[in-house]
Amino acid sequence: MGYLGFKYLAKKKYFATSFPRIQNILDNHIENLLIFILLGVLLWGRLGNDIIYYPQYFLQHPGQILSFWQGGMSFIGGIFGVTIAIFLFRKRQKGKKYDLRMLFDILLLFLPIGIALGRVGNYLNQELYGVVVSDRLPRLGYPLFSLLHDINIFHVYPAVDSMLRVNTNFLAVFFEGIVTFVLGLFVMRSQIRKKIFHPGMWSAVFLLRYSFIRFILEYFRADSQLEFHGPFTTSQRFFIGFFILGLLILYFSSRWWKKKS
């Protein structure tokens, strides 16, 4: 679906005037770029999962670090993989310079679709399940409890146990995927309609929004509870860093916009 989105943007020639080299990538090189990104996500998503969450085990068993068939992918590692892939792709363009911020904006526009599909896969595989409702939310009144149960916010994962748990997969699909994707379309559509582009804006907004959502959801994920080091999980520490990075991108990009205007 993301590929079709890129092809749609290419067909509409939205960036032909302001960012001709970005338009050229969309027209002629999007397949190559997506291959770079796919390899980056697969390799670094796996490496990130192993190095970030299980460093001691893989220091003792380094030969297992690329055992893709055992599963385990990390969004944090995947983001690093995407970044490295884009820089390698740019280097392959034989010195052709273009605004990387705009390219990141376009790529992150469709990333929430992949995130949502990944969370659906987690749900089907009974992975990344939430905490037990009675342990974390014991004081919910009947009307609210019943409503949340009816809309599948509370769910039993049969492969785990018979306890009613917070459906963090459902929450992630909605907030990390659908809502973030719609917001991205709104931001990009606004720039396209006004024909005034702000490179880096959506990248900053994406990092701010996604980091905040993931930070909150960590408190409801049962698999993350064993990762607490002090007040935060391992993942939350990274998302604090991503949130700060989003603020920095927004700050420096806004200064660049003012100089250009």
Task: Give the whole-angstrom CA distance, residue 167 versus residue 134.
Answer: 13
pLDDT at 96: 61
Residue with tokens 């927004």: 250
pLDDT grade, residue 91 (50/70/90)? Answer: confident
pLDDT at 70: 59
5 neighbors 110 (Cβ within 8 angstroms): yes
pLDDT at 118: 86
Question: Among 148-152, 177-181, 250-254, which range has the highest average pLDDT?
Answer: 177-181
pLDDT grade, residue 211 (50/70/90)? Answer: very high
pLDDT grade, residue 210 (50/70/90)? Answer: very high
**Mean pLDDT, residues 205-217 taken together:** 93
**Mean pLDDT, residues 86-94 taken together:** 81
Neighbours of 122 (CB within 10 A): 17
Pick from 129, 103, 114: which is nearest to 221 by CA?
A: 129
Q: Is 51 exposed, middle or buried (0-12, 13-18, 19+ CB in 10 A)?
A: middle
22-72 pLDDT, tens digit each = 888 889 888 888 888 888 887 887 777 777 777 776 677 666 666 655 556
pLDDT at 101: 87
Higher-confidence residue of 199 and 60: namely 199
Higher-confidence residue of 243 and 59: namely 243
Lowest mean pLDDT among 104-113, 132-141, 187-196: 132-141
**Mean pLDDT, residues 181-194 taken together:** 90
The whole-chain average pLDDT of the chain stands at 83
pTM for the full predicted model: 0.84
Percentage of the chain lying above the pLDDT 70 cut: 89
Percentage of the chain lying above the pLDDT 90 cut: 20
Task: Give the whole-angstrom CA distance, residue 45 versus residue 77.
Answer: 4
